[in-house]
């Protein structure tokens, strides 16, 4: 049985390697904000198909996914643990830090799977 937490409270998500993110829920407003983020819009390119969807090659899709993940993280991450500077001192949360974290593929994938996909499952569960 799949058990989904439908709480609207922020929750901690373990991304592995000692890194945890405290994230607000991904709401419709957050999704709208991400779709209209300047970096996301720029990553879409100008070529669209008959349905108005961007026509992208594999690299274009990867760059769009990364831009969307960064915009999403900047919108919902409230705190983090396990992120430090070169000397091992804890680093305060910042938009530049979030971007640097998601530039590391292992954390980008973990964020997509444990935070974004989890929210998508909640949407599906509510629509059943």
Q: Where are the alpha helices (DSSP H) in 1-128?
A: 28-35, 38-44, 58-76, 95-102, 105-111, 117-126
Report field, pTM of the whole predicted structure over 0.85:
no
Least confident of 27-31, 60-64, 104-108, 115-119: 115-119
pLDDT at position 41, please? 86
Count other C-beta atoms under 10 Å from residue 47's C-beta.
10
Tens digits of per-residue pLDDT, 63-75? 889 999 999 999 9
| Residue 125 pLDDT grade (very low, low, confident, very high; cuts 50, 70, 90) | low
Cα Rg of the chain (Å, integer): 16
Instruction: Kindly list the domain boundaries of the chain, sorted by start residue.
Output: 11-126
Tens digits of per-residue pLDDT, 73-100? 999 999 999 999 999 999 999 999 999 9
């Amino acid at each position: 049985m799949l058990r989904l937490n439908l709480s609207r409270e922020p929750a901690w998500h373990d991304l592995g390697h000692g890194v945890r993110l405290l994230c607000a829920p991904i709401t419709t407003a957050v999704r709208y904000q991400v779709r209209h983020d300047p970096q996301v819009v720029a990553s879409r390119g100008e070529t669209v198909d008959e349905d108005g969807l961007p026509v992208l090659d594999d690299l274009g899709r990867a760059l769009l996914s990364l831009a969307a993940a960064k915009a999403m993280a900047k919108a919902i991450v409230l705190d983090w643990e396990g992120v430090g500077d070169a000397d091992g001192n804890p680093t305060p949360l910042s938009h530049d830090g979030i971007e640097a974290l998601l530039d590391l593929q292992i954390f980008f994938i973990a964020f997509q799977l444990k935070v974004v996909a989890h929210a998508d499952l909640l949407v599906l569960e509510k629509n059943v």
